[in-house]
Amino acid sequence: MKKILFILLSFAIFATSCMEDTGNYDYRDIEDFEITGVESGYSVLILENLNIPASISAAAGDFSAVWFIEQKDISAGFDDNTVADTISRELVLDIPFKYKPGTYNLYLKVTNNNTGVAKYAKTEILASTQFSTGYYLLKETSDGNTEMDLHYTNGDKVEDIISFVTGAPLSGKPKTLSYLNDYSYLNEATGEKDVNYLLLPLSENGMYTFNMTDMSIAREYGQWFYSADDTYDVKKIHHINSVGFSFAMFTESGVFTNYQRAMYQMYSVGKFSPLPDLMYDGTNNYSSSNNVCYFEFDNYTYDAVNNQLISVDYNGGVSSVSFQYPPLLADQDPTPESFEDKIIYIGGVQGYATDNLVIVCEKADGSRYFYYAMAESESYEMNIANKADFEASSAFADAKIYATCRKDGNYLYAASGNDVYAINPENGASTKLVIPSMPAGEITYMDTMWYETYGDDSYNYFVIATENSGNYTVAFYEMIGGEPVKGKEPVRILQGKGKIKTVQHADPGKNGNVWSMTRYSVHY
């Protein structure tokens, strides 16, 4: 009982002392504020001003601001860490945007210096150039030289870009147009590393390397090799393109590779060796034709020196491909098929787990036949699932233009005059395609083109280019199962002067490389 009374008495004394506390305490309201004037997203052209009129709601006070930026990680790479750069310490942002094309996260941090309270605003920046997203058309001019047009997705266009930059077309007929994502190289002018998007038109006589930020010349031809004395004859180069963790130069004397991948922080001076890479068997006596078939992990091309198909893997390694015909049964030993005739076309049917090839061959008497071969991805052994002659009266027997369905269909296409035919290489069944509003003239280019993203800009097109009286028309059709959608008009039509050799869709800032979130069908 005494313990209870003591506790109650102690509590009463404590309560009384609190009531009698007359100390002078200085309580102040926290100076609250809000950041306004920052939208959820902005678009900006490289080197033009990015203006964001940020403001704060507080009427007065001592505040400081800092803007910092990081490139959005759009890869599925090995390291997702990013580094943020401080770009301004002014509340209102008004600076020239000097970063490369891409998508960025931009943050504003505002601090109340009296209280230490900080608040943040975030926005997304889509940076592009006037030469960014669109369709680049490599074309032959009326006098037999090479030019390039750009058609923007909004319908505008820029004609004769090569002449605009260099003063004249590229000498010789066009061969191919290479689009290199995130190519790292030593900038000869500054002596520093540069990572950029490059566009390479290649003709029978020459090549240019355009920086897609401003379409200036990024590298002179001699700067592609370790020594000016080691420059390779440009007339013998067929293609330069990405092969996973390398960029490869396909030539008549083999394949030169440059190991790099800037999106994974693997950089290079961007030069090629004076000799082509050795094949895995230790020899380098091989060649590459102008037919290069692209898959995510492998590239295939014809080696005329050894009359065989060769594969270039995602590390740049070169090896011969072994074919089995007929397909192996259980417990059978391999019996490689040798190519006795000239390979005139190689096309890929895009697979996710398999590489499916259609190979067109021509005999000494001019008659033609095809192979349909399949392999597990990253395998150097293919099963020939079908081998058949083309009927002499069919368009496939003498076609000048072949193409394959790269996605969602299993077709080999042939163009004859103003008509398009398709054959299923698995069973040889053929059909004439119905092309709505077929452009007038002779077909000069035909292919399928697809692009996968997580946005609304994905597509799957059948593309046809015709030439009529010195003018071109390029029509894009939506596809289902490898055929243009019946009765549906082209979703896009491009027109201009000249004869189209190839069409390349470009979207700097969205990588179409191996293991990235966006995927292209590359056209070579």
Apex CA 513: angle with CA 507 and CA 518, to 5°?
60
Q: Decide: 150 and 507 in contact? Cβ < 8 Å.
A: no
Write phi, then psi, for 247 (nearest 5 degrees). Answer: -115, 135
E strands, 141-275, in order:
146-152, 157-158, 174-186, 193-203, 210-211, 216-217, 237-242, 246-251, 254-259
Measured in whole angstroms, how far is the alpha carbon of residue 352 from the centre of its chain?
A: 17
Could you please report the per-residue DSSP string of 46-89? TTSEEEE--EES-SS--EEEEEEEEE---B--S------EEEE-
Q: Which runs of consecutive H residues, i.e. helices, occur in 419-467?
A: none
Query: Pick from 336, 399, 342, 332: which is nearest to 373 by CA?
Result: 336
**Tokens for 4?**
């209870």
As a whole number of angstroms, the distance between CA 22 and CA 422 comes to 96
| Cis preceding linkage at 53, omega within 30 | no
- Which residue has tokens 């770009």? 87
Classify domain 35-128 by CATH number.
Answer: 2.60.40.10
CA 150 from centre of chain? 16
Q: Is the dihedral of CA 498, 499, 502, 504 positive or negative?
A: positive
Q: How much is the pLDDT for 81?
A: 42
pLDDT at 25: 47
What is each CA distance from 266 to 53, 83, 193, 245, 256, in whole angstroms? 38, 16, 12, 9, 18
Residue 427, token pair as written in the block: 């069973």
- Walk along the chain (524 residues) in steps of 10 and give the mean pLDDT of each run: 40 45 49 89 85 87 91 42 75 87 87 92 85 89 97 89 94 94 86 88 94 85 80 88 88 92 85 88 89 83 89 89 74 71 87 80 95 77 88 93 89 92 93 94 93 78 96 96 93 97 82 48 57
Read off φ and ψ for residue 70, nearest 5 degrees.
-145, 145
The structure tokens listed for 89 are 């310490």
Structural contact between residues 203 and 162, judged by C-beta atoms closer than 8 angstroms: no
Are 291 and 345 spatial neighbours (Cβ–Cβ below 8 Å)?
Answer: yes
Full-model pTM:
0.79
pLDDT at residue number 9: 39
User: Which letter, b or e, does each residue of 474-486 get, where b requires 16 or more Cβ atoms within 10 Å of its Cβ?
Assistant: bbbbebeebbbee
Q: Which two tokens stand for residue 521?
A: 């069908």
Rounded distance, CA 509 to CA 512, Å?
Answer: 9
User: In the structure encoding, which two tokens stand for residue 210, read together?
Assistant: 């355009």
The pLDDT score that the predictor gives to residue 523 is: 57
Query: For 326, what's the count of Cα atoms within 13 Å in the CB-facing half-sphere?
Result: 3
Supply the DSSP string of 166-201, one letter for each residue: HSSPBSS-EEEEEEEEEEEEE-TTTSSEEEEEEEEE
Q: Which long-range contacts (CB under 8 A, 24 or more apart) does 423-427 make?
A: 423/396, 425/349, 425/358, 425/370, 425/372, 425/386, 426/372, 426/385, 426/386, 427/386
Single-letter amino acid code for the residue at 329 = L
CA distance 342 to 290: 13
Comparing C-alpha atoms, which of 370, 257, 237, 274 is closest to residue 317?
A: 257
Domain boundaries, the chain: 35-128, 134-520
Copy the structure tokens of residue 445. 């280019």
Architecture per CATH, 134-520: 7 Propeller (2.130)
Q: Is 346 helix (H, G, I), strand (E, B) or coil?
A: strand
